[in-house]
Amino acid sequence: MRFLPSNLRPVRTLASALSLLLAISGAAIAQEPTARVIVKFKADASAVDVPANASLAEQQASRVQGVSRRLGMSVRTGVGIADRMQAVTATGLSSQQLAARLSQDSAVEYAVPDELRHRSAAPNDPRYAAGLAAPGPAAGQWYLRAPAGAVQSSINVEGAWTTVASTSGIVVVAVLDTGIRFDHPDLKRVADGGNVLDGYDFVTNAFIANDTTPGRDSDASDPGDWVTAADVASAANTIGCTTADIENSSWHGTQTAGLIGAITNNALGMAGVTGPGRNVRVLPVRVLGKCGGFDSDIIPAMRWAAGLSVPGVPTNPTPARVINLSLGGSGACSAAYQYAVREINQAGVVVVASAGNTSGHAVSVPANCTGVIGVAGLRHVGSKVGFSDLGPEIAISAPGGNCVNLTGDCLYPMLTTTNAGTTTPTPLNEAYTDATDVTIGTSFSSPLVAGTAALMLAVKPSLTPDDVRSLLRRTARVFPTTGDDIDVPSCRAPMFDSAGQPIDQLECYCTTATCGAGMLDASAAVALAQSDTSGNKGSGGGALGFGWLLALGVAIRVVAATRART
């Protein structure tokens, strides 16, 4: 399952295509497909296969042996995810076929394919590939400031910093991504005066991990996720990487972590959304690498981040109150994701996820799961940015970056921390995306909401995930219905052509049915979190005591088909 469609992938040169063909001709690999499934066994039925006093590993193996015997096929034990939930593999059939067969077994509660997810990276915008000719951008960290003039979607965070300044509570935000570069001067560990905790690495596939210690371990650093033609042709590529995945290292986890927790007021670089108060800690959890990451790594990482138990992994000593997921893939929310989100919410943990970047298609997994705060991306003027997905599952929208101009420096990218290495990391590197590349995407909308949620919990730790969602929606600013210089239509629900293929929906003016309750206002959300005593059970739709209004619907014009816009 690929998160970005082929028409948004970087264009490959003839030379790279020829080199791939040569590599493949030398390797001539013929591999039997491997089915990967996440299975949850029933509490009562699973006891039939489990011997008394069996260890956790023996329980997992016994359950799989039992189902293998009843199905008359070889099913292999994979990584543990939760109590009675684990990954399994088999050969000779697809993941969908294996899930269907397992679902028929009397001991199985549910079985779903173990999908490969991808970071919610930016699409191939006209200024994305070229980068910036000089340090910039022209608007700096426009997305944090109060709305003014042409900039209407910025999140107005400085007032939130003032509100939080008088509190002493510490809130942990887990960033589930590609890991982090601990050597960036704006992302120091807490012990070194920064905001970053040690974290954990959940990537179990050696090809995806691309590090010296594949498997789950305590090193959450990002070794780089670059993909070459040789990688695609390699015998180690058992996960289906293709030429569309060939790219330099993204440093995606470092970028999302910087938006949340970059050191503020250190006379260096940038400010994080959580500000100078040192009330928020960033917990990096590595779940993605070369070509993405599997659900069987992401779901246990979500549980671990929330302080829940995961087979074979030490308990998280610093449980998160907020989890940010700037990743996803197409399809409906699976039972495995929904079960995890429900448990995590019940533990008092807020889950925030990016909508996806497939140009106005349906919201991705896990942002479309019940209990997740799905976030869509906005242009600086407040309209939906062309790449952002949309739909009724979205709770709120925030800036996702856009360029406006087709030549010269990009005006409104999302400035954040990164590394200058094209493959392996450049050590002790003080790089920011404005100086080396243009960073845009719903990956960068989600951390703004996650960071705001953390500030809300810092001023009122008793807030539940439902409270946080309600307060964010109640304080959201109204979507604009005018303001661009070309014809822009009203956003509609995701659409499909006669062949059942999704239809792109580029820039459009948001409605509350497609982009959530409105535009994120961090100051208003934190202020209401601190003062509200109503129980916070509202469902959104207006800012009640503060007087902010939400758009009920808009109908404007049509985007010019000949102009590529973000």
Per DSSP, the three-state class of 31 is coil
Strand partners, 394: 374
C-alpha 286/C-alpha 180 separation (Å) is 8
Whether the CB-CB separation of 213 and 221 falls below 8 Å is answered with no
Sign for the CA dihedral angle at 220, 223, 229, 235 comes to negative
* 485 catalytic per annotation: no
Q: Helices H, strands E: what count in the chain?
A: 13, 18
End-to-end CA distance of the chain: 25
Residue 322's identity, in one-letter code, is: V
Catalytic residue among 49, 105, 177, 211: 177
Pairing of strands 350-354, 293-294: unpaired
**The pair of three-digit structure tokens given for residue 97, joined into one six-digit string:** 């076929």
**The pair of three-digit structure tokens given for residue 420, joined into one six-digit string:** 């200058």
Residue 544 gets which letter from DSSP?
G
C-alpha 390/C-alpha 395 separation (Å) is 10
* 252 catalytic per annotation: yes
C-alpha 461/C-alpha 262 separation (Å) is 22
Whether the CB-CB separation of 135 and 67 falls below 8 Å is answered with no
- Only one residue has tokens 């996650």, namely 450
Give the number of other Cβ atoms within 10 Å of residue 9's Cβ: 17
Whether the CB-CB separation of 36 and 87 falls below 8 Å is answered with yes
C-alpha 278/C-alpha 11 separation (Å) is 42
Prior bond of 461 cis (ω within 30°): no
Catalytic residue among 252, 359, 380, 445: 252
Sign for the CA dihedral angle at 384, 389, 391, 393 comes to negative
C-alpha 205/C-alpha 215 separation (Å) is 7
Whether the CB-CB separation of 350 and 325 falls below 8 Å is answered with no
Catalytic residue among 153, 154, 443, 523: 443
**The pair of three-digit structure tokens given for residue 331, joined into one six-digit string:** 């399809």
* 177 catalytic per annotation: yes
Mind giving me the DSSP string for 185-231? Answer: TTS-BGGGTSSB---EE----HHHH-SSS-SSBS--B-----B-HHH
Q: Among 150, 301, 153, 152, which Cα is nearest to 216's?
A: 301
Q: Which residues are catalytic?
A: 177, 252, 443
